[in-house]
Amino acid sequence: MKSLSLPKNQRLCSQRAIDQLFSQGNSTIAYPLRAVFRFDAENSELPPARFMITVPKKKIRHAVGRVLMRRRIREAYRLNRHLLFPALDEAHTRADIALVYLSSDLADYQTIEKCIQTILDHIAIKVKEL
């Protein structure tokens, strides 16, 4: 049985890695999400993919709404990341991913999950092109 936990080491926290991601990364949009991703050579001490979520205060004014959207995005990623991991293992590479929320309105979970699946499929295709 596959593990569905989301350990701390799969979160993108390093300021240097985040700066590199946004300066050198590619992006794709599946509204209401935008994904910025960057591939690296495989490193045995790091997980296959690290991610971060950004919900701008300019778009969602209330903290309760921002937290709700972060939780929905995190849950959708946690349950669907299996779409990406086999492609990364096969290509012997790893990815850093930033998920940015674009809409001013709160989206329901089903919408977020479809967007996450589309984004992860797109990143998996890009990995196979390497």
Q: What is the rounded CA–CA span in Å between residue 6 and residue 67?
A: 17
The pLDDT of residue 112 = 98
Between strands 26-30 and 33-41, the pairing is antiparallel
Q: What is the pLDDT of residues 68-84, one digit of tens each?
A: 999 999 999 999 999 99
> 2 pLDDT exceeds 90?
no
Tokens linked to 49: 């993919």
Q: Please tell me the distance from the alpha carbon of residue 24 to that of residue 11, in angstroms, as a whole number.
A: 19
Q: List the structure tokens of 41.
A: 């050579």
Could you tell me the pTM of the whole model?
A: 0.93
Ordered by where they begin, the domains of the chain are: 13-129 (3.30.230.10)
Distance CA 98, CA 50 (A): 9
User: Looking at per-residue confidence, does 4 or 70 come out higher?
Assistant: 70
- Distance between CA 85 and CA 95 in Å, rounded? 10
The larger pLDDT score, comparing residue 52 to residue 1, is at: 52
Confidence of residue 20 (pLDDT cuts 50, 70, 90): very high
Complete edge-to-edge strand list for the sheet that includes strand 93-101: 26-30, 33-41, 93-101, 49-54
What is the pLDDT of the chain when averaged over all its residues? Answer: 93
Q: Is 96 helix (H, G, I), strand (E, B) or coil?
A: strand
